[in-house]
Structure 1
Amino acid sequence: MADYTWIALAAEDLDLEVGNTMQLLDSSRVRVVGERTVAGITGYLLHKFDRETDEHGNMVEIVTSEWVIAPNVGWPLAVTLYRHGEPYYSKTLIEYERK
């Protein structure tokens, strides 16, 4: 599954409280770092990251993507994917209407 779709499907199973960190099956981790409003909907801002050892032997967190999700919406409100610390893909919901 594409990296930008799995989170929306798993949102109901995540413990979405600011400060929580959850380890995923692929050994990456997701941390809830705050809340953000997108298209009039308040969602949770998540950072997905991997842990690696740097050249000095220190464990560092490498952010691989950033998400804004709302559990009652079936798709991310916003997503940014990172490669080598730089964003290479970004998508943001502009308008939302519940029918």
Structure 2
Amino acid sequence: MVRAGITFSPGRAGPVAVSVVLMDGEFGTLPAKELRLSLSNPAAGIEPIERIARLKAEGNWWVAEANLPVPGRWEVELEILVSDFEMRRAKGMVVIRP
């Protein structure tokens, strides 16, 4: 199981920075080799916006800039490369303010 704490700064439409903390099922640090972030808004007709996150510290990842052009409900998908042979995925939703 994968858990992720995701923070959008600022949490409104336009350019945002994204911070991701990866955790295992027991809320311990989940080490990973790579993290890909995908953001989409199907209701607004926006296809996935994909970014590769950079590792800041063990379990803490950062996307310096992603542009979310409209407010509303955005789908968030993470692809987490745990090892050369294991990929994990996590999905969720975030509401972006105007």
* Bigger relative contact order (CA 8 A; separation at least 6): 2
- The structure with the greater share of residues assigned to strand is 2
Above 0.5 in TM-score? no
- The structure with the greater share of residues assigned to helix is 1
Q: TM-score, normalised by structure 2?
A: 0.32
